Amino acid sequence: MTAPLLELRNLSTHYVSASGTRVVRAVDDVSLTMNARDTLGIVGESGSGKSTLALTMLRVLPPAARIVGGQMLLEGEDLVAKSEEEMRKVRGKRIAMILQDPMASLNPLFSIGDQVGEPLRQHEGASRASAWKKAIGLLKAVRIPAPESRVTQYPHEMSGGMRQRIVGAIGISCEPRLLIADEPTTSLDLTIQAQYLNLLRDLQQDYGLGLIFITHNLGIVAKMCNLLAVMYAGRVVESGPVSTVFNAPAHPYTAALLHSIPRMTERRERLSAIDGQPPDMSALPKGCAFAARCPRVFDRCRQEEPPVFTPSPGQTARCWLAEGTR
């Protein structure tokens, strides 16, 4: 059996303040596995550590953050052990990332052809002319009409949806194995978002990509993903196949998230909201971080941190309620 596309083993990334007194465990003891053609949704609220996890996977962390433990195996090779030089050959080439804001991701001073072709020139030593030629093909792949004329244009001449496609084209330019999309659609209109998600799904099929969505939107997970990991306070509190988790969530946080979404077709008088606020990441309580907001909390939750349990095959949960299913 070949190694999975990506396997995270007990990965931890911490932020340490300048004085060294405050430690924020932004990513703590995260283990996940995905194969090629899998689509993994990493879901969490702001401050849950999902974006730090994405940055960790590319090893583009801000100076205050450090990977303090664990392994990231990309097709069996540990990325944590790689030197910065070797990592440069991984970024853009084997793992690519699409950022939230399509406008900020494009440099207004360079033509579309130059920007789409840049990773090719960087990683494959392509000449400017051949990179442009390939760029035209890539724009066609992301279904931009008249790509021959578009390559000479600049970002400000494009609409928002078009720019998002160009960012996608840059992402796939070196035919990466894994594409990470960080909140890829938040600024898009609904019909444009639908177009874009469809495009990503087609690209995944055409290129055999592994796809990771970093999002707070469970709808995107329901529509696009087959695997799901829910993050809370830096930890993956539940993970597993999407249909399993949606139908039988093992962690009360996941359950509460699923019940807090308004539904179009059924009329419910009240949504079941989660009370309180997310915890302060630099002063996490003892025991389970969700205990203070959990509707099913009991004494043990406040004392001991729950380990990872396996309520059903492929599903994991960090919750004492799942104990005995290990």
Partner 1 sequence: MSVVLEVDRVSKHFQARSGFFGGDRRVVRAVDNVSFSIEEGTSLGVVGESGCGKSTTAKLVLGLEDPSAGAIRFEGKDLVGMDAAGRRHYRKSVQAVFQDPYASLSPRMRIGAIIAEPLITNEKHSADTVRARVLEMLDLVGLPARSADLFPHEFSGGQRQRIAIARALALSPRLIVLDEPVSALDVSIRAQILNLLRDVQDRLGVSYLFIAHDLAAVAHMSQTIIVMYLGKIVESGEARALARTPMHPYTAALFSASLPDHPDDRREEIILSGEVPSPMNPPTGCHFHPRCPRAMARCAQEAPTLREIDGRRVACHLFD
Q: Which residues bind partner 1 (CB under 8 A)?
A: 45-46, 159-162, 189-195, 198, 216-223, 242-243, 246, 256-257, 260-265, 267-275, 277-278
Smaller CB separation from partner 1, 105 or 164: 164
Q: Tell the smallest beta-carbon distance from residue 48 to partner 1 (Å).
A: 9
Angle CA 149–154–155, to nearest 5: 120
Smaller CB separation from partner 1, 60 or 271: 271
Q: Tell the smallest beta-carbon distance from residue 172 to partner 1 (Å).
A: 20
Closest CA to 99 of 28, 179, 17, 193: 179
Q: Tell the smallest beta-carbon distance from residue 223 to partner 1 (Å).
A: 5
Smaller CB separation from partner 1, 195 or 310: 195
Q: Tell the smallest beta-carbon distance from residue 108 to partner 1 (Å).
A: 20
Q: Tell the smallest beta-carbon distance from residue 158 to partner 1 (Å).
A: 10
Smaller CB separation from partner 1, 262 or 324: 262
Amino acid residing at 305: E
Smaller CB separation from partner 1, 109 or 273: 273
Smaller CB separation from partner 1, 96 or 301: 301
Q: Tell the smallest beta-carbon distance from residue 237 to partner 1 (Å).
A: 13
Helix axis angle, 112-124 to 160-172, nearest 10°: 10
